[in-house]
Amino acid sequence: MPTTAFTIENVPEDVARRVEARAAAAGQSLQEYLLALVIREASRPTNAELAERMKRQASVDLSGVDVRGGGG
Give the pLDDT band (50/70/90) at residue 53: confident
State yes or no: pLDDT of 27 exceeds 80: yes
Average pLDDT across the chain, whole number: 88
How far is Cα 25 from Cα 14, in angstroms, rounded to an integer?
16
pLDDT of residue 44: 95
Mean pLDDT of 38-53: 93
Q: How many residues in total does the chain contain?
A: 72
Mean pLDDT of 41-65: 82
Give the pLDDT band (50/70/90) at residue 35: very high
Q: What is the pTM of this model?
A: 0.66
Cβ density class 35-44: b for 16+ within 10 Å, e for less: eeeeeeeeee
